[in-house]
Amino acid sequence: MSDVILEATSLVKHFGGSDSWFGKTPKVQAVDGVSLRVRRGETFAIVGESGCGKSTLARLLMRLLEPTSGAVMFEGKEVSSVSGDALKTLRRDMQFIFQDPFSSLNPRMSVGKLVGEPLEVHAPDMSAQHRRDKVAELLRKVGLRPEHAGRYPHEFSGGQRQRIGIARALASGPKLIIGDEPVSALDVSVQAQVINLMGDLSRDLGLTLVIIAHDLGVIRHMSDRVAVMYLGRIVEMGRTEEVFANPRHPYTQALLASIPSMDESDAARRPVVLGEMPSPSNPPSGCRFHTRCPHAQERCKEESPTLGSYEDGVACHFWETLAIDTPLPIPSPRSDATQARFELYRAATEGGTVTHKKPQPETATKQHREDHL
Amino acid sequence: MITKAHSSEYPADTLLSVENLTLRFRGQSNDVVDDVSLRVRRGEVLCVVGESGCGKSVTAMALMGLLPVGSTRISSGLLKIEGESLCLVDTVVPATLRGNRIAMIFQEPMTSLNPSFTIGNQIAEAVLQHRGGSKAAACERSLEMLARVGIASPEKRLSEYPHQLSGGMRQRVMIAMALANDPQILIADEPTTALDVTIQAQILNLIRDLRDETGMGTIMITHDLGVVAEIADTVAVMYGGQVVEQGPAADIFADPQHPYTIGLMSSMPRLDRPGGRLSIVPGTVPTIAAMPKGCRFRTRCAFANEICGTRPSLCDVTPLHSVACHHAPLEAHIEVAV
């Protein structure tokens, strides 16, 4: 499937910079010239540190914000020019999942009402009974029970609330869902449940997903292609596998090297990025990463490198000549017993039948300690 | 093979230990922290790991004496710090310990600094409170600490306010403040959770460097197994207010025994084994009131049977590595037909 569902061209969004009573407000260049293409049916990820403009970009793609300049095309139609019924259709086809399941659901609406609301808007002719059935079906689809429809958001845990948010996004039958950090507020075990759910849904319903995240593990697991953002610009874009196996931009390399890994605790090998991200209201000249880049040269301060592509590329003057160390940790092999244990766990949680062997002689002597330490 | 633990083995370089800590909140029918024993040696990082609601932070707060006295009941618990013992039942942890010999840093560097005082003022306050001496000396100490935690141009930063600093710098200031009185134990409650990965790596490096320099013991509370692998010497996995598995970090990662530990490790999206579905830990942590009797994990455990209605105690896998599960090691006791 190679047809393009969403395309952004030279998107720019600046905040502030206007005269107010208190003098001129600083101009923040949140997104500064982003071009990308998302293909139908794929999962596209946008990754970067806080303040890099990834959430602003997501909102621009959805037209929750108006761009300062540039254009977004959804299925070949200009997003920023539509209004009226066309805008309503657009909203039906593109849905958003928010990061915080605690503040994105109206506490005074029941779950049935929350999930049914998009149906009221987009399918006003639907009968009340039909709508209730549809809500029940949606709730089942995201792993909740139909009888949950009468309850209120505060009665649910974080993971369940995120499921409600997903059901709500699915209600209008969208083609594209944009998730802004959809799992980062959740505990790791619940996060895995929601990641599995989103993977299943995108496959079963043929959805296109755009996932914004800062967790590289989540991105590696979920996405087909990834764009790495730094200070309002995409510095590297490509197939997730290739970007992770062979990062070309020094920033991508640094990001990957900063991830704490479960397999290797040799900390000395880690080239840590120095310093912190400069303020987007006063970004560095030239390549915006040059203030933190270990390979920066004179040219980087003056000339801004470009990505030069909508789908694959790296915005660095020198990436071809940089020595690339593969920062991905090599997994340490598990012992047979440990591997067997992980496989048992997987089989059991995926519905295998568990049988308990008869106690063996050695465990009969197993004693519990009566004191501690 | 599981054998009885030897409780007499008590390494001489133990800096801090807490034994059999049990506490509940007023009006609750279940213990929030149930019979937890932890030990930190000199220069060692102990990571307490688990999901939200498993009692990690409450344990740390109890060690610091930061729980509200009126609404908490500690029914047992003995804190030993360098051989001195303090029974935690119905006592207030004295200020000679708290902030002086045991220091703590918190998750949110944004909210744990006072926005209306300068950085220098806040560090100096901690010094004056515990060490006395002149204000000039305290300011001198603040400057020294800021430089030590790697803050550029510390003279300038001394007179700045928290809002002028970034999240990573604020966490550095918190660390400077915590270490200003040369504590023997640093308790860090999710110190990097609110930070970006590149800044997280910097802060973990800083904690490691300071540990090497001072030999302090560190108790780090985290839910991120990556952070644990990165920094921990020993690990305690908590679930529902109980320690379900503990031991050297290398053993926990190479040879996890408890189904909860295995579940946590399987549910992490991996960089090196991508694709497919993640194994999960079904459901969520029950509330304290709804905790099952016996093994508290049994409501979410795929291997639970009737024996799990009685509480498993911590049994040794190796002399240093122990696990609280009736079915450990799984491969010897369980068969799964798919």
Going residue by residue through chain B, which has 338 residues, state the pLDDT in tens, using 9 for 90 and above: 344 344 444 566 889 999 999 999 988 888 999 999 999 999 999 999 988 888 898 999 898 888 888 888 899 999 998 878 888 887 777 878 888 889 999 887 778 899 999 999 999 999 998 888 899 999 999 999 999 888 888 888 999 999 888 888 899 999 999 999 889 999 999 888 878 888 888 889 899 988 999 999 999 999 888 889 889 999 999 999 999 999 999 999 999 999 999 999 988 887 766 567 888 888 888 888 889 999 999 999 999 999 999 999 999 999 999 999 999 888 888 888 87
Taking the CA of residue B37 and the nearest CA in chain A, the distance in Å comes to: 7
Instruction: List the 175-234 stretch of B: residues with Cβ below 8 A of A.
Output: 196-202, 204-205, 208, 223-227, 229-231
Instruction: Please provide the DSSP assignment of A56-88 as one string.
Output: HHHHHHTTSS--SEEEEEETTEETTT--HHHHH
Using CA coordinates, name the residue in chain B closest to A261: B226
Using CA coordinates, name the residue in chain B closest to A271: B201
Instruction: List the 256-275 stretch of B: residues with Cβ below 8 A of A.
Output: 256-257, 259, 262-275
User: Three-state SS for B190?
Assistant: coil
Residue B251, token pair as written in the block: 């053993």
Helix axes B167-179, B197-214, angle to 10 degrees: 20
The structural domains of chain B, ordered by start, are: 14-101+184-270+278-333 (3.40.50.300), 110-182 (no CATH)
User: Three-state SS for A96?
Assistant: strand
ipTM value for the complex: 0.83
Instruction: List the 282-301 stretch of B: residues with Cβ below 8 A of A.
Output: 282, 284-285
Taking the CA of residue A192 and the nearest CA in chain B, the distance in Å comes to: 5
The answer to whether the Cβ–Cβ distance between A222 and B269 falls below 8 Å is yes
User: Three-state SS for B78?
Assistant: strand
User: CA A217 to CA A224: how far, in whole Å?
Assistant: 13
User: Three-state SS for B64?
Assistant: helix
Q: Collect all residues of chain A within an 8 Å Cβ-Cβ radius of residue B225.
A: 188, 262
Give the best residue of A345, A357, A371 to mutate against chain B (max B CB count within 10 A).
Answer: A345
The answer to whether the Cβ–Cβ distance between A328 and B316 falls below 8 Å is no
Instruction: Please provide the DSSP assignment of B125-172 as one string.
Output: HHHHHHH---HHHHHHHHHHHHHHTT-SSHHHHHT--GGGS-HHHHHH
What's the pLDDT at B51? 87
Q: How many other C-beta atoms can be found within 10 angstroms of the C-beta atom of residue B33?
A: 27
User: CA A312 to CA A234: how far, in whole Å?
Assistant: 11
User: Three-state SS for A32?
Assistant: strand
Using CA coordinates, name the residue in chain B closest to A373: B7
The answer to whether the Cβ–Cβ distance between A355 and B269 falls below 8 Å is no
User: CA A169 to CA A176: how far, in whole Å?
Assistant: 10
User: CA B325 to CA B308: how far, in whole Å?
Assistant: 8
The answer to whether the Cβ–Cβ distance between A258 and B198 falls below 8 Å is yes
Element (H, E) at B297: none
Paired strand residues for B234: B46, B248
Q: In chain A, which residues have pLDDT < 50?
A: 1, 265, 267-268, 361-373
Taking the CA of residue A160 and the nearest CA in chain B, the distance in Å comes to: 9
The answer to whether the Cβ–Cβ distance between B337 and A355 falls below 8 Å is yes
User: CA A257 to CA A221: how far, in whole Å?
Assistant: 17
Amino acid at A25: T
Identity of the residue in B202, B269, B336 whose CB atom sits nearest the CB atom of A218: B269
- A7: CB partners within 8 A, 6+ apart: A36, A37, A38, A72, A73, A310
Instruction: List the 104-163 stretch of B: residues with Cβ below 8 A of A.
Output: none
Q: Collect all residues of chain A within an 8 Å Cβ-Cβ radius of residue B153.
A: none
Using CA coordinates, name the residue in chain B closest to A370: B313
Element (H, E) at B286: none
Taking the CA of residue A182 and the nearest CA in chain B, the distance in Å comes to: 14
The answer to whether the Cβ–Cβ distance between B268 and A217 falls below 8 Å is yes
Taking the CA of residue A266 and the nearest CA in chain B, the distance in Å comes to: 8
Identity of the residue in B279, B335, B338 whose CB atom sits nearest the CB atom of A357: B335
User: Three-state SS for B307?
Assistant: helix
Paired strand residues for A23: A20
Taking the CA of residue A289 and the nearest CA in chain B, the distance in Å comes to: 13
Q: In whole angstroms, how large is the CA radius of gyration of chain A?
A: 24
Taking the CA of residue A50 and the nearest CA in chain B, the distance in Å comes to: 7
Would you say the C-alpha torsion A76, A82, A88, A91 has a positive or negative sign? positive
Residue B198, token pair as written in the block: 């590149």
